[in-house]
Amino acid sequence: MKIICVGRNYADHAKELQNDVPTVPVIFMKPKTALLLPEKPLYYPEFTDDLQYECEVVVKICKNGKHIQEKFAHKYYDQVSLGIDFTARDMQRDQQKKGLPWEIAKAFDGSAAIGDFVPITVETQVSNLAFQLKLNGETVQDGHTRHMIFSVDRVIAYVSQFFTMHIGDLIYTGTPAGVGKVKPEDKLEGYLQGNKVLDVMIK
Ligand code: MG
């Protein structure tokens, strides 16, 4: 199983990090060991002083495929949840400055928190989902998937040119504005269409 992530998929977030709005999807991956399962805490890593949350809508692949056409991509995922793309922002900026890959800043153990999946239905079309992240009870991110630059279907069409999609693969679809730091004892809660699906404690 692999974890595919989209970077800079919301214009307001690209701007807050002073990045250009991309014209093709920005893709990176995390290994299976990055997965932080529901109810598990994240232990603050010793290698960063700037651990940040990025709350993202996540879809789960339900069918194997390669070179998937955008018009058929919706058949390849059937469940949705929220996740957190944890980022060591200080290390990411260092790596970017040097033009180096950013896995050590984004793909470390526990960096892909995942919530409980819900089936995709008429009410939970991935192109029409509101989601929020609360930090210690206060809303810090408030997004809507209609503001994605590249739709989930477009991302699957793009990514599957390079990587075969396998059942169980996860796609983290990018974060809206409002990313920020966490510290030990912080509590993060994610709401999808008003329902809590994600709960992560920082230790
Ligand atoms: Mg992200």
User: Which comes out higher in pLDDT, residue 93 or 12?
Assistant: 93
Mean pLDDT across 170-191: 97
177, 76, 89: which is closest to 131 by C-alpha? Answer: 177
> pLDDT of 65-119, one tens digit each?
999 999 999 999 999 999 999 999 999 999 999 999 999 999 999 999 999 999 9
Mean pLDDT across 42-69: 98
Query: 119: CA distance to ligand 1 center in Å?
Result: 23
Q: How many domains does the chain have?
A: 1
167, 159, 158: which is closest to 75 by C-alpha? Answer: 167
34: pLDDT strictly greater than 80: yes
The strand pairing partners of 60, in sequence order, are 79, 170
User: Which comes out higher in pLDDT, residue 21 or 144?
Assistant: 144
Q: What is the pLDDT of residue 10?
A: 94
Q: What is the pLDDT of residue 197?
A: 98
Query: 203: CA distance to ligand 1 center in Å?
Result: 21
Query: 22: CA distance to ligand 1 center in Å?
Result: 14
* Domain with 145 in it: 3-201
Query: 31: CA distance to ligand 1 center in Å?
Result: 15
Q: What is the pLDDT of residue 40?
A: 94
Query: 72: CA distance to ligand 1 center in Å?
Result: 25
Residue 20 is part of a domain; what is its CATH number?
3.90.850.10
Q: What is the pLDDT of residue 15?
A: 82
Q: What is the pLDDT of residue 178?
A: 96
141: pLDDT strictly greater than 80: yes
Q: What is the pLDDT of residue 128?
A: 95
Q: What is the pLDDT of residue 168?
A: 98
pLDDT band at 153; cut points 50, 70, 90: very high
The answer to whether residues 10 and 149 touch, using CB atoms and an 8 Å cutoff, is yes
Q: What is the pLDDT of residue 16?
A: 84
142: pLDDT strictly greater than 80: yes
The owner of tokens 């960063």 is: 48
pLDDT band at 61; cut points 50, 70, 90: very high
Q: What is the pLDDT of residue 20?
A: 83
Q: What is the pLDDT of residue 22?
A: 86
pLDDT band at 17; cut points 50, 70, 90: confident
Query: 79: CA distance to ligand 1 center in Å?
Result: 19
Q: How far apart are CA 87 and CA 28, in angstroms?
A: 13
pLDDT band at 12; cut points 50, 70, 90: confident
DSSP for 74-142 reads GGGEEEEEEEEE-EEHHHHHHHHHTT---HHHHSSTT-EEE---EE--STT-GGG-EEEEEETTEEEEE
